[in-house]
Structure 1
């Protein structure tokens, strides 16, 4: 029977101590036998200071960080320093721009009227640009009407006669006797040459020291000039235009070094009305170029938007002093940020020519593809009558050169 149901199971009365059931007790173990008999609360942390290094490290306490953590922290700090120090320097460098503050100019030279060509030398001999052309000297150009001037304009053109052209057609190239290291140049252009095989240009350079003393192409195009005018610099090393610029034209290349990209230079292209048939239909216009230590800038003004301080052969104003700081944004901007203008451009003459074929116009890319001219450039020059060159002429109102005091 159960003890629970029969209190008197051990004699009917109060049980004696001897007669009571044995007490429930825990198994006995020796004090030193803790390994085999752990205490009831074995989960209590009994670690000693010797076990401290095995505890989990606190992420908040730098003293407990591992070497790997310190390396990661150092890398992060370096990256932050680069961002804080280098990035502002790069941004500042990219945003650099020269001081184009106004200069005080005065008129230094005028090329106009019947004496226009008296101030130029005529180039003769082999064409430096490998053109299919014969450049004629002064008397010969006058005799063939390749160059002539009136009180209101001066004309330079390609020969339009039907003489034998199997070795090239006659044309003219002139170089100003005066040279310039700086200045503001105003070119009043009434008509620009165009036509298959033509490569006309109006530029400044030192032909005897090219490319050391640089080249500034103010107006240049090829064949039918379907893409408009191109303004270009050609230099020796250390002149580039991958910098901040303020211009309305389309930048084509940034490296001005003559030896790169087939001597393409660092060019800027205008719109279709900046040269050729459309330019001529608008009555021509004015190109202005400022050459100074701060940089080189070239403006194109349509005939109906010429600033009032520019004197032209078609204006009624007396000679006033132009101020480029009041003009709209330039077509082409070549700042001195990464190009020492004074070192790269010296002893500049004004040069005008109409080349035929040559290293640029003669390429099929420009002769056939871009302008749609037939056959090859040399064959065209050899076989076409003079009437094919009826639009191949420059007509200038005047050139004016201003120097800063």
Structure 2
């Protein structure tokens, strides 16, 4: 190395170049391309290299061309595809069935009704038998027979009204208080029932009901509670069905009441059945202050519907005259929406409700009214239900009576 090169300050000097810098004019200086830095060509593979890498899977983010071809799929792939397809089909079918079921609704077409029975006037109670057995609802009550009821003035009828009440005269009620339960002599498998109710019973410990059932085959032949409440009836009327299995109401319904439960099987949820709650004005003190109203119940294969009409809104085709008039024929197809609707969508009405008798009674305490949830918490009644019946004077039951105008039963021709 020459001294000039040694002292030039250029570490690359003296490497034998024409310009004295030690490299050819046709080549870049070595420091422009460090030995361990990849060349430009290493960042951009040749077309051949790229093709090779792609075919090996390095640059292809999907399946290779051969895998996209169904002819090259393995048996396992076909099985997976078949399973997925079946699952999708099942889901589509289930969704379709659910949507269809939720939108199904029976055909409540117009029926031509004819009057078949009228309970009215002084002979009102001639249409009924008096129940005198042990109360099946475990009430703290003594049901009185016909002659006893007349003697105690618990049932009586005039030309315009029929009264059924709890006894007010008994001073010894330590084993229960006297009351009345009557059952119609005629039974029905279908029909339109019109009940003119002028006064509904209410008061602590009371459990009044206007209902239909087959007393000799309950609950197999069903129960329809048209008007029912307990104690002070703070929430109004509850319309309820009680059945054996396979009668549910979690389906499309057209009603103005509030559904309380949808499984009508009597043995579920404390024998509560499937109930629909009405407004406060449909039973009790407010109902009575408004002059009562009309309850109508239609029992047919398409379903069971219950309407409540206050005195100012009774349809023109419902007569409230006590006379046995056949000049007016009711037509529910023209009425507004029912208070409670129990369609046959998921319940065979015809098989669940047969041989129905009309029943009116006033129970005391028992399985419903006597429960603390309803006696104490809901109605704020004092002490316990049994203690109340045992110790309160008859004056505590001044409002514990039914007053009916007329009952009419129509059946389709």
Measured against the shorter chain, the TM-score band is: 0.7 to 0.9
State the SS of the aligned residue for 1:227. coil
In the alignment, which residue of structure 1 is the partner of 2:364?
356
Structure 1 residues 318 and 46, CA, compared in 2 at 3 Å: closer, same or farther?
closer
Which residue in the other structure is 2:310 paired with? 302
Residue 398 (str. 1) matches residue 406 (str. 2)? yes
Contact 1:311 1:318 in 2 (8 A): no
C-alpha distance after superposition, 1:136-175 (max 9, x if no partner): 0000000100000000010000001142111111000000
Aligned length in residues: 369
> In structure 1, how many angstroms separate the alpha carbons of the residues matched to 2:312 and 2:323?
11
**How far apart are 1:62 and its partner, in Å?**
1.4
CA contact (8 A) 2:224 2:242 kept: yes
Query: Deviation of residue 382 (structure 1)?
Result: 0.7
| Contact map agreement 2:159 2:322 (CA 8 A) in 1 | no
Structure 2: gaps of 5 or more residues: 3-15, 20-44
Partner SS state of residue 389, structure 2: helix
Alpha-carbon distance in structure 2 between the residues aligned to 1:378 and 1:310: 41
Query: Does the CA contact (< 8 Å) of 2:120 and 2:322 recur in 1?
Result: no
Match of 1:54 among 50, 53, 56: 56
The Cα offsets for residues 222-254 of structure 1, whole Å up to 9 and x where unpaired, read as 000001100000001111101110000000111
Q: Deviations over 1:62-87 (max 9, x none)?
A: 12887687677656644543454332
Alignment-derived partner of residue 380 in structure 1: 388
Quick check: 2:170–2:177 contact (8 Å CA) kept in 1? no
Aligned equivalents of 1:117, 1:4: Cα separation in 2 = 138
Q: Which one of the candidate residues 333, 337, 343 is aligned to 1:335? A: 343
Once the two structures are TM-superposed, the CA of residue 299 in structure 1 deviates from its matched residue by: 0.2
Partner of residue 29, structure 1: none
2:179 corresponds to which residue?
A: 171
Give the TM-score taking structure 1 as reference length: 0.85
1:237 matches 2:237: no
Helix, strand or coil: the match of 1:87?
helix
In structure 2, distance between residues paired with 1:182 and 1:44:
87
Q: Counterparts of 1:185-204 in structure 2 under 5 Å?
A: 185-204=193-212
**Map of 1:8 onto structure 2:** none
In 2, Cα distance between equivalents of 1:346 and 1:204: 10
Q: How does 1:130-209 map to 2 (within 5 A)?
A: 130-209=138-217
**Rounded Cα–Cα distance in structure 2 between residues aligned with 1:400 and 1:105:** 12
Counterpart check, 1:63 vs 2:66 = no
Structure with higher Rg: it is: 1
Deviation at residue 217 of structure 1 after TM alignment: 0.3
Q: Distance in 1 between matches of 2:122 and 2:65?
A: 91
Contact 2:121 2:322 in 1 (8 A): no
Q: Is 1:124 matched with 2:132?
A: yes
> In terms of mean alpha carbon deviation, does 364-373 or 320-329 score higher?
364-373
**Corresponding residue of 1:271:** 279
Determine the C-alpha separation between the residues in 1 that align with 2:280 and 2:17: 120
2:13 alignment counterpart: none
| Residues 84-118 of structure 1: CA deviation (Å, up to 9, x unaligned) | 43322220111111010010000000000000000
Unaligned runs of 5+ in 1: 6-41
User: Could you say what secondary structure the match of 1:178 adopts?
Assistant: coil
Contact 2:237–2:283 (8 Å) recurs in 1: yes
Root-mean-square deviation (CA, aligned residues, Å) is 2.8
Q: How big is the shift at 1:317?
A: 8.4
